[in-house]
Amino acid sequence: MELLYWKQENLTARKYTVRDENSLVGELAFRGWTSNDADFSSARINLYFQRQGWLEHDLTIHFKDEVIGMSKSSGFGKTTTTLVTGEQFTFQGKTLNSSRDILDKTGQTLVRFEQGNFSIASGQISIGRDIPELTKLLLVATGLYLKHLGQ
């Protein structure tokens, strides 16, 4: 199992860092106080998240000005992300539990986001099995984005 660590810059900031034990993995930054659009940048991939309107929970994921995926949320706290490759992932949480999981189409947990014991501004990301590097970064970035919107 691989562990990464996420941290919000401060409780009011809309900027997050993701690190492994040794170095920075990437950063997620929202585009201003009223925007739900955000950028994720790392040494390997740069993504742009564009929310579709204020009332809808649909999300478009861009890589180099191309749409690479869409996320759609249901009223039950579950979000399904479908990539242009056909891969599908579900982001969900449980009532009264601060952790959030990303599941594959068979229901197996791929990635888990957890908050720190005494902090809502930091936590860890557990990656349960071997996932290709770019897919892992995409899932971590998307999960952190969705986690922020769900707070």
CATH of the domain at 85: 2.40.160.200
Q: What confidence score (pLDDT) does residue 88 get?
A: 96
Q: What confidence score (pLDDT) does residue 98 get?
A: 77
Both tokens of 96, joined, read 């009264």
In 3D space, the residue among 90, 93, 117, 124 whose CA is nearest the CA of residue 104 turns out to be 90
Q: Is the pLDDT of residue 151 over 70?
A: no
User: What is the pLDDT averaged over residues 56-66?
Assistant: 87
Per the structure, the count of domains in the chain is: 1
Q: Each residue of 101-131: pLDDT tens digit?
A: 999 999 999 999 998 777 778 999 999 878 8
Mean pLDDT check: name the lowest of 21-30, 68-77, 84-93: 68-77
Q: d(Cα 24, Cα 116) in Å, to the nearest integer?
A: 19
pTM: 0.90
Instruction: Judge whether 60 and 67 are in contact, CB under 8 Å.
Output: yes
The residue segments making up the domain with residue 71 are 2-150
Residue 34 pLDDT grade (very low, low, confident, very high; cuts 50, 70, 90): confident
In whole angstroms, how far apart are CA 16 and each of 79, 86, 143? Answer: 21, 28, 12
